[in-house]
Amino acid sequence: MVTEPYAKPTLRQRVKQELKELMVISGYLYVTLGAVILMKAAVLHTEGIAFTPFGIAIVKAVVLGKFVMLGNLMHAGGRDISGPLIWPTLRRSFAILVLLVILTVIEEVVVGWFHHRSIAASFDQLFGVRLQETLAGYLIMLLVLIPFFAFRVLNEALGEGRLERMFFVAWESEPRE
């Protein structure tokens, strides 16, 4: 008779775990993207332009965080972590970036629809006049995703939860000889 070593988590436990994960991902995205927004606001302020979209940044971080969780659930970038950890880190980072690009395009079309713009006009918002800003945003997002997935892949390689314990729980190291 084979018994499962762990009981299946209850719905309440899964919801609690997912909310915790969403808060961590969203917090990470808000801090990293918030730094970029702060830089943009500072540059625009020197030119006499008021720019403070921090409320929108929180909403965007939560939405992006949920999409990152969805990509993880779909195993975007694969499950394999054999070999050097840089490869699964980069695969997952690029896969989630592609997902976020697709969702950003959809978001821009929906926003355009609410503002009575055609799909072509919505695409022009991303890839026309603002092409450099759009591409820079995608590059920044990739640079934000790489360390995020590096920690996730390392956590999986060490064993679920071990890296978190190593960072946040005091532990005794091996005595030196």
pLDDT digits (tens, 9 = 90+) for 33-70: 888 888 888 888 888 888 777 677 888 889 889 989 98
Each domain of the chain, given as residue ranges in start order, spans: 10-73, 74-170
Mean pLDDT confidence for 166-177? 68
Residue 173: other Cβ atoms inside 10 A: 5
What is residue 6's predicted lDDT score, i.e. its pLDDT?
Answer: 65
Residue type, 37: I
**Per-residue confidence (pLDDT) for residue 42, from 0 to 100:** 85
With H, G, I as helix, E, B as strand and everything else as coil, classify residue 21: helix
**Rounded distance, CA 117 to CA 111, Å?**
8
d(CA 94, CA 64): 15
Res. 176 pLDDT band, cuts 50 70 90: low
Max mean pLDDT among 36-45, 84-93, 110-119 falls in 84-93
Q: Which of 51-65, 82-96, 120-134: highest mean pLDDT?
A: 82-96
Cβ count within 10 A of residue 126: 20
Residue where the block lists tokens 């939560």: 62
The pLDDT, as a whole number, for residue 175 is: 54
Residue 52: phi, psi to the nearest 5?
-140, 75
Q: What is the pTM of this model?
A: 0.78
